[in-house]
Amino acid sequence: MKIRICLLIFMFYGLITAQTHRYIYELKYKLDSTQDEHTKKLMVLDINPKDIKYYDYNFLVKDSINRVTNSQNTNWSNQIPISRKRNSNKNINYQIVELQIYSYLTNDEIKWTLHNETQVYSDLEIQKATANFGGRKWIAWFTKEIPFSEGPYKFQGLPGLIILLKDSQDQYVFSLVQSKNLKTTYDTSNFLEERYGHKPLFVTEKIFVSKALEYFKDPYHGIRESLRNGNNTYEENGVKYSNANELIPMIKREQDFILNHNNPIERNKAIKYSKK
């Protein structure tokens, strides 16, 4: 669905009455740094009175369907959702390994350099700023006309909302495409802080990385053990497996997929997988 650009210059009354200021960014990214074309998706930034939420737009779509149908269907994203308190550098990261959701805390201070260069974007005057963060060099364009010191993902701390953002290699490119005010704070507890009744396991970032490495080493470990014990069969894409050795090609494909999609927004946190 193509979303029409609708950037709002908020009046003071709107700022004090709306409970969630929602900004939707188009994200163009390359999870494989060698790919020619970008993948596109929409990401949501909710600025609430007390906290910030950043997550995949598809979470909203699924949540809306679930509310209407009284369902508990879930999905995931290859972009890391985060939440934080207002005016804080401490972010809660939500990631999944196999079927387990993990959350961990990171301290993410970004030191910006402001530049005098300005331009006009969708009737807004925007100003340039640069920073090094996550192993990448970033160029941001913000506007003082929307007085929120926030932006997509962990990017915040400028004297106005970030409108455009990209890294120097154009592997991650954000553009604000829509905004709206909600009268009440939007409840994300059923798909962010929890995943339809399943609470994330809160760990350290180091433990999360160890779990990801453990999964990469043997992606189908639990299923293979079950098959070895002769307790079950496993079905995927209409094919049934009864022998653990039959899963070896699938394991190799999963490992190759992980290796070829290991270009996270924070490049210095790319997990160092080793395929033996």
Beta-carbon contacts of 256 under 8 Å, excluding residues fewer than 6 positions away, are: none
Range list of β-strands (E), 183-276: 201-202, 234-236, 239-241
In a domain, 210, yes or no: yes
- Mean pLDDT over all residues of the chain? 88
Q: Locate 48 and state its tokens.
A: 């609430």
Residue 23 within any structural domain of the chain: yes
275 lies in some domain? no
Residue 261's pLDDT is 92
Most confident of 112-116, 188-192, 220-224, 257-261: 112-116
Query: Do both 255 and 161 map to the same domain?
Result: no
pLDDT in tens, 42-65: 999 999 999 999 999 999 888 788
Which of 68-72, 127-131, 245-249 is the most confident on average?
127-131
**157 in the same domain as 47:** yes
Residues 161, 218 within the same domain: no
Asked, for residue 220, whether it belongs to a domain, the answer is yes
Q: Which residue has the higher pLDDT, 72 or 165?
A: 165
The predicted model gives 9-35 an average pLDDT of: 76
In angstroms, the CA 16 to CA 13 distance is 5
Q: Are 39 and 128 contained in the same domain?
A: yes
pTM: 0.88
User: Quick check: is 274 in a domain?
Assistant: no
Which comes out higher in pLDDT, residue 57 or 16? 57
Can you tell me whether residue 265 is helix, strand or coil?
Answer: coil
Which CATH number characterizes residue 128's domain?
2.50.20
Domain closes at, from 163, 193, 223: 193
pLDDT of residue 117: 98
Within a domain: residue 30?
A: yes
Domain count, the chain: 2
Nearest CA to 179 out of 162, 194, 195 is that of: 162
What number is the average pLDDT over the span 222-246? 76
Please indicate, yes or no, if residue 146 is contained in any of the structural domains: yes
**In this model, does residue 129 exceed pLDDT 90?**
yes
Query: Do you know the residue count of the chain?
Result: 276
Instruction: Specify whether 184 is located in the same domain as 98.
Output: yes
Same domain, 119 and 167: yes
pLDDT class of 5 with cuts at 50, 70, 90: very low
Rounded mean pLDDT, 248-267: 92
3-state secondary structure of 206: helix
Helix, strand and coil percent figures for the chain, each rounded to 5: 25, 35, 40
Of 144, 163, 193, the last residue of a domain is: 193
Q: Work out the average pLDDT over 16-36.
A: 87
Question: Which pLDDT score is estimated for 73?
Answer: 67
- Is there a single domain that holds both residue 156 and residue 218? no
One-letter amino acid for residue 254 of the chain: E
Residue 105 included in any domain: yes
Residue pLDDT, tens place only, 214-225? 999 988 877 777
Residues 32 and 57 in one domain: yes
Q: Are residues 146 and 209 in the same domain?
A: no
Q: What is the mean pLDDT of residues 28-46?
A: 93
* Tens-place pLDDT, residues 60-93: 888 788 777 777 666 778 899 999 999 899 999 9
Structural domain that includes position 126: 12-193
Domain edge (last residue) among 193, 222, 243: 193
Report d(CA 20, CA 186) in Å as an integer.
6
